[in-house]
Amino acid sequence: MDHGRTRWILLAAIGGLLLVVSLVALQMRPANQIAKRQAALIEGIERRSPARIQRLLSRDYEDRWGLTGEQIVESMVDAGSQFLALVVTPEEEVIRFDEEGGATVSTRLTLSGKPVGPIGNEVTRRVNQLAEPFLFEWRKENFLPSSWRLVRVENAALPDDLYGYEPGDIRRAMQGE
């Protein structure tokens, strides 16, 4: 009887261990990691937190507007500074993986919240009227599942000159510079 109980305990322990390993493996899948990173980026934008956004960017970040990683963070925080409360809602989100091991998240972003003035209203209007989705390109920088970093943001509906905007323009205008 004692021998049978030991066998059941051993089988239950092995079964429990396999269940835990399976759950961890599912959470480490690239699609799950990208979804978590994308959600963390949106949260960083909503909170207007440079540190939260910066830790998700690759050192090799570059986009068609010529912005560096530091400049894209400054731009996101700059635009977000015009809101008392900012809500960024991703819609129609699709994750695609390429042959080189990267991933692209295609999503339409809808802004809402409490703008503090005309600039916040204009940012909301322009982003919400974009005809094309945003494309967020992610690359895995090493073997760790959590090493996915943002390397590029794109939206074909935004002009090459970004309406004349330079990173920090809103902050400088608010400070009277």
Model pLDDT for residues 66-103, shown as the tens digit of each residue: 999 999 999 999 999 999 999 999 999 999 999 888 99
Confidence of residue 117 (pLDDT cuts 50, 70, 90): confident
Parent domain of 90: 2-174
CATH for 154: 3.10.450.50
Taking residues 44-48, report their average pLDDT: 96
Residue 174 pLDDT greater than 90, yes or no: no
Q: How many CB atoms lie within 10 A of CB 59?
A: 9
DSSP 99: T
Looking at residue 8, what is its pLDDT? Answer: 81
Distance CA 52, CA 3 (A): 54
What pLDDT digit, counting tens, does each position of 47-67 carry? 999 999 999 999 999 999 999
If you average pLDDT over every residue of the chain, what do you get?
90
- pLDDT of 34 reads 96
Share of the chain above pLDDT 90, in %: 72
CA nearest to 103, candidates 22, 167, 25, 41 = 41
Total domain count, the chain: 1
